[in-house]
RNA sequence: AACCCGAUAGUGUAAUAGGUAACACAACAGAUUUUGAUUCUGUUAUUCCAGGUUCAAGUCCUGGUCGGGUUACCA
């Protein structure tokens, strides 16, 4: 736990030092600045928790700002989903919803100012020529032939760029810094490019769009941001962030970089997540296998569990990959405390209790949550024919197998002890029916004579059980690192898990008939499940959020 | 090759004016158990390397090694 004790991560330490020194006069103002070009994923959740969390802890504010400077990839759908996901996580930007596109005019005026101060120029080289002129990290770049245009010419050209007189690629506006700078980003970076594309907010008002580097710091500045917290890959861009704030002589926030969240068996690249969606490897951005916030929500994760993961993983400057089990443990821990227990048989095999009266049904009391007495109890119907899990019976069980087998006695949860007397196989050799006798003395699950059984098994009444579609999810990728491929002809897609979704027809105890979307419970001995939005009156659909820990199937002598 | 950043049990993190290397999860073992779950107890295992300063170095100094990032008119 990194949260325990009084430990503060290095970002919070900086904030506290600044507060102590009066650097920002005690003001703490952060922002979360997503580009609306995809759905938020759990990596963004870490940034959200950091930015909104710090603001809250230090009596500050956190803005939501959409970094929408590249109209080609941005859509309103993404804006809306991002807002939904932040709220779901439990954070609130109040009245501080901003868009970088709100600042286009100001940014443009500043660009003219830089031109007038001979700190920016219109470059008319081709994309390729600009790239070549930039050199390489080891080799200094060479000046653009347009680098020494007069201020008047630059101004004229830039205004005509805005007016739409040129085609895409004809000109760009570049900052005049140093083509030989050791930091590549400072070799006359591009500030504006011509894009004759409709913007999701500004429509066709603009045909020149500012780049990230020219936009971000100034947007922070305009909003009075004090601590501009971003991920490690922006480290190299900090000198540029600083350069623009200094050149413009405007409020200059401090950029601080932290390590992004990586999880095993998945990946966070928005580009690749989009590809999974577009190529149909998953069923949309909110597919329960996706590491998106909406996917996790649909999978059954709670906002609390996502937030506590973010608190657990810590904030450092070190590239780290967190085990997926850490996330899984968060939701197990929470749902163990809070979720109702229910009985569901995912792979049913029929059991006939030969000495139980035909046609008789009795309702038995079942505790809802042994971890929470206030959750009360419910009744489950028991009868002569029931279903149990196919895995819970073995014709020829090994010694370590505790469950049902010929001659063995087990307990049916909240019901009776039953003993297997016989079983029937179908033509294919599969067990089709198991015959047992029950001991009426053991009603409720206790033997008056004190005899013990090794296993307690879940079950449902064959007559009263309801049907449901249950979707069993597993890791999206086979390997911890999706990029780890055996040879170069393969890529990350070759590591997709073909069995990441398995759908089964299950039989559920009847109390589940009224469950509605978002209802979470534990299917005893199986895992935690949530009712999916695909559910209809005719077809109840459950998603498996996570399995229970299982020390049996992991054993070398445990099958599966 | 140049620049920036990083390196502490398997994983993620802590040790903050040099002062007994610790926590969580994982793994393993045992106890409890009407979920092979939960809970409880215990065990294993850590400072990238080499020098140096010091009574004392994860921490400071020097040199190296390894990993990540930068060489987009994306963010």
Identify the pLDDT of residue A275.
95
Identify the pLDDT of residue A559.
38
DSSP A19: H
Asked if pLDDT for residue A488 goes beyond 80, the answer is no
Q: Which nucleotides of B are covered by protein (CB under 7 A)?
A: 1-8, 10-16, 23-28, 34-39, 67-75
Is there contact between A20 and strand B, defined as CB under 7 Å from any strand atom?
no
Q: Model confidence over A20-58: pLDDT tens digits?
A: 999 999 999 999 999 999 999 999 999 999 999 999 999
| Nearest residue to B39 via alpha carbon and C1' | A371
Separation between the CA of A326 and the C1’ of B47 (whole angstroms): 24
Asked if pLDDT for residue A236 goes beyond 70, the answer is yes
Q: Model confidence over A104-130: pLDDT tens digits?
A: 999 999 999 999 999 999 999 999 999
Identify the pLDDT of residue A462.
98
Where in chain A do CATH 3.40.50.620 domains reside?
Answer: 10-261
**SS3 state at A426:** coil
Distance from the Cα of residue A322 to its chain's centroid: 13
Q: Model confidence over A50-67: pLDDT tens digits?
A: 999 999 999 999 999 999
Is there contact between A260 and strand B, defined as CB under 7 Å from any strand atom?
no
Other Cβ atoms closer than 10 A to A297: 20
Q: Model confidence over A346-387: pLDDT tens digits?
A: 999 999 999 999 999 999 999 999 999 999 999 999 999 999
Separation between the CA of A227 and the C1’ of B3 (whole angstroms): 25
Phi, psi (degrees; rounded to nearest 5) at A212: -50, -50
CATH architecture designation of domain A264-299+467-508+515-560: Beta Barrel (2.40)
ipTM tops the 0.90 cut:
yes
Other Cβ atoms closer than 10 A to A62: 25
Identify the pLDDT of residue A555.
56
Catalytic position from the list A193, A270, A289, A297: A270
Q: Is the Cβ–Cβ distance between A325 and A355 less than 8 Å?
A: no
Is there contact between A426 and strand B, defined as CB under 7 Å from any strand atom?
no
Asked if pLDDT for residue A556 goes beyond 60, the answer is no
Q: Structure pTM?
A: 0.95
Is there contact between A445 and strand B, defined as CB under 7 Å from any strand atom?
yes
Is there contact between A138 and strand B, defined as CB under 7 Å from any strand atom?
yes
Q: Model confidence over A162-208: pLDDT tens digits?
A: 999 999 999 999 999 999 999 999 999 999 999 999 999 999 999 99
Give residues with Cβ within 8 angstroms of A20, minimum separation 6: none
Q: Is the Cβ–Cβ distance between A36 and A79 less than 8 Å?
A: yes
Query: pLDDT class for A560, splitting at 50, 70, 90?
Result: very low
Nearest nucleotide (C1') to the CA of residue A257? Answer: B5
Is there contact between A536 and strand B, defined as CB under 7 Å from any strand atom?
no
Q: What is the mean pLDDT of residues A333-344?
A: 97
Closest among A77, A92, A105 to A32, alpha carbons compared? A92
| Nearest residue to B38 via alpha carbon and C1' | A336
Identify the pLDDT of residue A208.
98
Q: How far apart are CA A344 and CA A352, in angstroms?
A: 18
Q: Model confidence over A204-232: pLDDT tens digits?
A: 999 999 999 999 999 999 999 999 999 99
Is there contact between A377 and strand B, defined as CB under 7 Å from any strand atom?
no
CATH architecture designation of domain A10-261: 3-Layer(aba) Sandwich (3.40)
Catalytic position from the list A23, A260, A272, A390: A260
Query: pLDDT class for A5, splitting at 50, 70, 90?
Result: low
Q: For strand B, list residues 308-327 of chain A whose Cβ lies within 7 Å of it.
A: 312-323, 325-326
Query: pLDDT class for A4, splitting at 50, 70, 90?
Result: very low
Query: pLDDT class for A553, splitting at 50, 70, 90?
Result: confident
Is there contact between A3 and strand B, defined as CB under 7 Å from any strand atom?
no
Asked if pLDDT for residue A514 goes beyond 50, the answer is yes
Q: For strand B, list residues 499-518 of chain A whose Cβ lies within 7 Å of it.
A: none
Judge whether A260 counts as a catalytic residue.
yes
Share of chain A above pLDDT 90, in %: 94
Asked if pLDDT for residue A558 goes beyond 60, the answer is no
Q: What is the mean pLDDT of residues A397-410?
A: 94
Fold assignment, A342-465: Ribosomal Protein L25; Chain P (2.40.240)
Distances (CA, A) of A71 to A199, A381, A443: 5, 59, 68
Where in chain A do CATH 2.40.240.10 domains reside?
Answer: 264-299+467-508+515-560, 342-465
Separation between the CA of A371 and the C1’ of B43 (whole angstroms): 29
Judge whether A400 counts as a catalytic residue.
no
Q: Is the Cβ–Cβ distance between A377 and A388 less than 8 Å?
A: no
Closest among A259, A207, A247, A252 to A228, alpha carbons compared? A252
Q: Is the Cβ–Cβ distance between A482 and A266 less than 8 Å?
A: yes
Is there contact between A182 and strand B, defined as CB under 7 Å from any strand atom?
yes
Distances (CA, A) of A553 to A392, A471, A536, A550: 12, 20, 34, 6
- What is the number of residues in chain A? 560
Asked if pLDDT for residue A2 goes beyond 50, the answer is no
**How buried is A299 (Cβ within 10 angstroms: 0-12 exposed, 13-18 middle, 19+ buried)?**
buried
Q: What is the mean pLDDT of chain A?
A: 95
Nearest nucleotide (C1') to the CA of residue A195? Answer: B73
């Amino acid at each position: 736990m990194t949260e325990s004790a009084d430990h503060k991560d290095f970002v919070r330490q900086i904030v506290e030092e600044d507060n102590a020194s009066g650097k920002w006069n005690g003001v703490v103002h952060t922002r979360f600045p997503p580009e609306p070009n995809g759905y938020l994923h759990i990596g963004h959740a870490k940034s959200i928790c950091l930015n909104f969390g710090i603001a809250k802890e230090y009596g500050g504010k956190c803005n939501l700002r959409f970094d929408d400077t590249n109209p080609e990839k941005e859509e309103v759908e993404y804006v809306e989903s991002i807002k939904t996901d932040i709220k779901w996580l439990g954070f609130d930007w109040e009245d501080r919803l901003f868009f970088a596109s709100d600042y286009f005019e100001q940014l443009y005026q500043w660009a003219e100012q830089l031109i007038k101060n001979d700190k920016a120029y219109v470059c008319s080289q081709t994309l390729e020529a600009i790239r070549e002129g930039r050199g390489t990290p080891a080799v200094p770049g060479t000046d653009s032939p347009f680098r020494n245009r007069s201020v008047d010419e630059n101004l004229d050209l830039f205004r005509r760029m805005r007016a739409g007189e040129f085609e895409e690629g004809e000109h760009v506006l570049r900052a005049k810094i140093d083509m030989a700078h050791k930091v590549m980003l400072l070799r006359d970076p591009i500030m504006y490019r011509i894009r004759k594309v409709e913007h999701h907010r500004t429509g066709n008002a603009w045909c020149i769009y500012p780049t990230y580097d020219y936009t971000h710091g100034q947007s922070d500045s305009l909003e009075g941001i004090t601590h501009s917290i971003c991920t490690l890959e922006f480290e190299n861009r900090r000198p540029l962030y600083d350069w623009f704030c200094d050149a413009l002589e405007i409020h200059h926030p401090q950029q601080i970089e932290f390590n992004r969240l990586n999880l095993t068996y998945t990946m966070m690249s928005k580009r690749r997540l989009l590809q999974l969606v577009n190529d149909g490897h998953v069923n949309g951005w909110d597919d329960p296998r996706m590491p998106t916030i909406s996917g996790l929500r649909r999978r059954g994760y709670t906002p609390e569990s996502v937030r506590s993961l973010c608190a657990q993983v810590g904030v450092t400057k070190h590239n780290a990959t967190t085990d997926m089990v850490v996330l899984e443990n968060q939701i197990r821990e929470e749902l163990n405390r809070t979720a109702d227990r229910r009985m569901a048989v995912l792979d049913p095999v029929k059991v006939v209790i030969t000495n139980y009266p035909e046609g008789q049904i009795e309702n038995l009391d079942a505790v809802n949550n042994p971890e929470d007495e206030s959750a009360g109890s419910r009744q489950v119907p028991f009868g002569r024919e029931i279903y149990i899990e196919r895995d819970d019976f073995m014709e020829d069980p090994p010694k370590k197998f505790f469950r049902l087998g010929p001659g063995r006695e087990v307990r049916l949860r909240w019901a009776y002890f039953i003993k297997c007397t016989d079983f029937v196989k179908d033509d294919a050799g599969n067990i089709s029916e198991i015959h047992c006798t029950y001991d009426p003395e053991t009603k409720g699950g206790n033997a008056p004579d004190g005899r013990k059984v090794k296993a307690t098994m879940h079950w449902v009444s064959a007559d009263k059980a309801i049907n449901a579609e249950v979707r069993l999810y597993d890791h999206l990728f086979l390997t911890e690192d999706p990029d780890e491929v055996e040879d170069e002809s393969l890529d990350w897609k070759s590591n997709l898990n073909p069995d990441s979704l398995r759908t089964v027809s299950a039989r559920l105890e009847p109390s589940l008939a009224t469950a509605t979307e978002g209802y979470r419970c534990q299917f005893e001995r199986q895992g935690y499940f949530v009712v999916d939005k695909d559910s209809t009156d005719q077809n109840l659909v459950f998603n498996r959020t996570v399995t229970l820990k299982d020390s049996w199937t992991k054993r070398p002598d445990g099958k599966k």
